[in-house]
Amino acid sequence: MSILSQAYSWINIKFLLAGLGITLEVSLISIVLSFVIGLILGIIRYVGFKYVSALVGFVIDILRNLPLLLIIFFTYFALPKAGLRMTPMSAAITALVVFESAMLAEIVRSGIIAVDPGQMEGARSTGMSYWQAMWHIILPQALLKMIPPLVSQFISLIKDTSLATIIVLPELLYRAQIIYGQDTRYMLPMYLIIAVMYFIVCYALSLVAKSMEKRYG
């Protein structure tokens, strides 16, 4: 049997697909949570609450300038010292959400800033409160402007899940390492197939984003 046929045996493919499932699960949960938190933080940054916005901005600037790998290490190895123990999956999700929320907050703030200020003035002149105008008028327009950078950040998040292999999260890359650890000749075939899997997932997400831009833009 050739090396490829051995490396791509059905047992190995099933093992990798299970890892891909974990990658997608971690990615989906992290995307939803980080988007919600990032949206809230971005609005706080934009509105400019006294002291609160400055504090949020300070924390965001710190997180954006830290390596994600360091946050993963801190979540999995340091927090247990404080009595907060996590599984590899919960630690990976927590680290990704913390890091990506900071990145998304700036995208949200920039998206809101990009909306014509006259939109807020016009909404307020119709009798809407500030927050009604923000929710019904400003945010829908801002979200459309955010689609490209948001999708780019989500794709980055999906790829960043591979960093969790360092804390033994059984995601796609970790499982590929297990397979070629049994036979080093499988290393190249494993890297090729996981590259294809990552490409399919990320490219599909970019196609969805393009479709949304055409439909709503």
Residues 13-22: tens digit of each pLDDT: 999 999 999 9
User: pLDDT tens digit string along 42-54?
Assistant: 999 998 888 898 8
The superfamily (CATH) of domain 3-216 is MetI-like (1.10.3720.10)
Residue 34 has pLDDT above 90, yes or no: yes
Q: What is the pTM of this model?
A: 0.91
CB burial string 131-157: b at 16+ within 10 A, e below = eebbeebbbeebbebbbebbbebbbeb
pLDDT tens digits along 46-98: 988 888 988 999 999 999 999 999 999 999 999 998 889 999 999 999 999 99
Mean pLDDT of the chain: 92
Structure tokens at 190: 């494993």
What's 169's DSSP letter? -
Q: How far apart are CA 122 and CA 136, in angstroms?
A: 12
Answer yes or no: is pLDDT of 1 > 70: no
| Alpha-helical regions (H) of 48-87 | 52-64, 68-73
Domain map of the chain by residue range? 3-216
Q: The tokens of 28 are what?
A: 């989906």
Model confidence pLDDT, tens digit, residues 123-143: 888 888 888 999 889 998 998
Cα gap 85→76, rounded to integer Å? 8
